[in-house]
Amino acid sequence: MNHKDLSSVVTALSQANRVLFITGAGVSEESGIPTYRGIGGIYNQKLKNGMEVEELLSISSFNTNPHLVWKYIYEMENRCRNALPNRGHYIIAKMEEFLPYVLVVTQNVDGLHRKAGSKNLIELHGYIYNLKCTGCGKETEVSDFSHIDIPPYCSECGGIIRPDVVFFGETLPVKKYYRLISEIKDGFDIVFSVGTSSLFSYVSLPVYEIKNRGGLTVEINPSFTSISHIVDIKITMEAGPALSLIWENYRQRFKIK
């Protein structure tokens, strides 16, 4: 990140009333959770049975073969189980303390933003530790999956339980989607797109909308993405180091301990 871009971001933060962070798998990579796309990403890999991840983690696959889908969900949860928030998560949470209004919109289901202390949070794709019965709708939260059967069945009605996450082929939860739309309508002075490929319209369109309304658009991603050509500032770095650099300069400029 060059000095000019760094100075521009810090200045914009100091003047902003409303700040939006849109985060993807890249923000959790430093915590040991692999990114979905990119080098070593699980979306780039075929599973042992030859299926693509998008096919396996679809609602149609869950409906026809919940045992197979749950086996893979269990593997995903095992990667999240001992993961801790990294400096990127903590810095975003810290900004929420010091700036007038910060909203975090994440595609991640690992819960690391909430663990880091982010309060104003929209988990678009859900939270892997929230479970929901497909029969009666009973919901429960668990600390991990180490003591559940695969697949788990509801103690109330015997229905199959699923994690309350968005499978491929499903739409976003209505309440979360409309809250995001409402927040975008209220406007943001600056948006950070952090560690996401921005392939889904609901994470790329807010960047376009904020840019069209005069807000500063910043992308933090070591790779080129679908929005890299339109953002005001492209920071070709991993999430943790980039956010650390921004926060350290902000902290020093405004003498925050």
Residue 20 and residue 23: Cα distance in Å, rounded?
Answer: 10
Task: Provide the b/e sequence for 187-210 (b: ≥16 CB within 10 Å).
Answer: ebbbbbbbbbbbeeebbbebbebb
Task: Name the one residue in this structure whose structure tokens are 């939260």.
Answer: 141
CB 108 within 8 A of CB 25: yes
Distances, alpha carbon 65 to alpha carbons 59, 127, 198, in Å = 10, 22, 30
Three-class secondary structure of residue 121 per DSSP:
strand
Choosing from 67, 89, 113, 125, which is the catalytic residue? 125
- Count Cβ atoms within 10 A of the Cβ of residue 111 and give its class: 0-12 exposed, 13-18 middle, 19 or more buried: buried
Residue 14, class by beta-carbon neighbours within 10 Å (0-12 exposed, 13-18 middle, 19+ buried)?
exposed
Structure tokens at 215: 């807000």
125 is catalytic: yes
Which active-site residues does the annotation give?
Answer: 125
